[in-house]
Structure 1
């Protein structure tokens, strides 16, 4: 097996579950660092900033700098900039989304918007959803940071951003452009940020429908770990298998 020159690594369900680090996550990243192999944490979670995610990982003993992180909020803000620089955005989300939009030079607005973008919002209200629906009906471009219908936490699987986005879709009859995994938009941005190509980069994740399909769709090799959303029992019925799979990350350490 030829060693990979870079790694794209999921967070929720791969590095941690909620606020609890998963077994061998630290050892996995430590070995990458020791071998001077570049890695990028790629998450569909839009709620935190790069700095907040890096601080969370460091608190768990997992090596991370802000530049080692790419979120769907950052990828969405970059995509909007490609469509309309300095766009007026109606945003539903948390710190990560608002921070990314502002850093890309977009304006947060309440009406007459160019774009409606929705990310995870634990303070979601009926009024926020109503305003988003009205703006979409008036012609605003409709984006969603990701389509995850659940997110793994220490309590179990909780509603994800895809479930929240569906309210706007059903109400307006319009489907959003999804930015996060398994879409190609965020994978292209991840490889650009790493500065590596598909053939030399391995994607590591726990969720078949987002992480693994993102790698498959991008033409990348994938490593599936059964510590999060997708259980091993589902493996035999998967339509396209990951390149490799392990029960826990320590099983991959000899291959780094």
Structure 2
């Protein structure tokens, strides 16, 4: 059996791993400090497309977590990278927040509701009937349908919230068109992130709290995977899936020594 190479770069999910319902997970600051002191490339990933990396850095800093902008990779950035590769200088009708619209502007996309090349659905806390109706009509008229991430729910201090995947299902029901999802577990998001930090999957590890996105994305990208139990997945949930993480640990605090 071939011996796996040592871990030279780390990718970690944000919600459920480093923070939980807006509060840092114990050990998150120590893990980030160890990463920076090691000099190893790392990324903090999130399927949430609401915030720009600069916004996320500021939000994390207020919680006492120091993550440089260059080490943050979002589904919005991955979506913009995908569109820039597929159709440079194209047009899109966007349902989403600044994280998504800024990423698309930065790659030269024009945002319009006049015969756009794409309808791009992202996360927002203000989905409106009018915006969804417009998206449905544009897709029916020939616009290609993309969604930043497949997550059906997201966390909040008050409980779960409907996320982009749930809204995408509504649009699919009305149009008969399935979106192409960019975020985890699509390996596309992982490979683009690895390329951004000059890392390779054979020497990288993915840390997450979800089997269906984080662990699956790491597995399909060829990385070692760590499941932490500080988020949505419990030990009892693991057996429901036909795949397993490389390791299961209680929290990110258990991985500080691994860096």
TM surpasses 0.5: yes
Q: Give the Å deviation of 1:157.
A: 2.2
CA–CA distance in structure 2, aligned partners of residues 247 and 156 of structure 1: 22
Deviation (angstroms), 1:35: 1.6
- The C-alpha deviation readout for 1:111-165, integer Å capped at 9, x for no partner, is 2111100001111100100110111111111100000011122333221110111
Provide the C-alpha distance between the structure 1 equivalents of 2:120 and 2:131, rounded to a whole number of angstroms. 12
Separation in structure 2 between the aligned mates of residue 153 and residue 37 of structure 1, nearest angstrom:
32
Q: Secondary structure at the match of 1:57?
A: helix
Which position in structure 2 is the counterpart of 1:190? 193
Deviations 1:193-248 (A, max 9, x none): 12111111100110110000001111111011011121222123331110111011
The residue number in structure 2 matching 1:62 is 65
Q: What stretches of structure 1 move > 4 A for 4+ residues in a row?
A: none
Structure-1 separation of matches of 2:155 and 2:227: 16
* Preserved contact between residue 20 and residue 154 of structure 1 (Cα < 8 Å): no
Counterpart residue number, 2:128: 125
Tell me, in whole angstroms, the C-alpha distance in 2 between the residues paired with 1:33 and 1:3.
18
Q: Is the 8 A contact 2:186 2:217 kept in 1?
A: yes
Q: Secondary structure at the match of 1:195?
A: coil
Q: What is aligned with 1:161?
A: 164
* 2:23 corresponds to 1:20: yes
User: How many residues get paired?
Assistant: 256
Cα deviation 1:36-79 (Å, max 9, x = unaligned): 22211111000000100111122222221111111111111111
Contact 2:41 / 2:199 at 8 angstroms: preserved in 1? no
- After superposition, residues 27-176 of structure 1 pair within 5 angstroms as 27-176=30-179
Residue 243 of structure 2: aligned partner:
240
- RMSD over aligned CA atoms reads 1.3
Cα distance in 1 for residues equivalent to 2:156 and 2:196:
28
- Structure 1: which 5+ residue stretches go unaligned? none
Write the distance in 2 (CA, Å) between the matches of 1:150 and 1:23: 24
Q: Distance in 1 between matches of 2:72 and 2:152?
A: 22
Match of 2:234 in 1: 231
Write the deviation string for residues 17-39 of structure 1: whole angstroms up to 9, x where unpaired.
Answer: 23211121111111111222221
CA distance in 2, matches of 1:121, 1:90: 14
Unaligned runs of at least 5 residues, structure 2: none
Deviations for 1:69-95, whole angstroms, at most 9, x for unmatched residues? 111111111111112111111000011
Q: Is the 8 A contact 2:92 2:109 kept in 1?
A: yes
How high is the TM-score relative to the length of structure 2? 0.95
Shift of 1:2: 6.0
* Secondary structure, aligned partner of 1:40: strand
CA distance in 1, matches of 2:209, 2:183: 15
Indicate whether 1:177 and 2:180 are aligned: yes
Q: Distance in 2 between matches of 1:210 and 1:81?
A: 24
User: Taking structure 1 as reference, are residues 247 and 134 closer, same or farther at Cα in structure 2, changes over 3 Å only?
Assistant: same
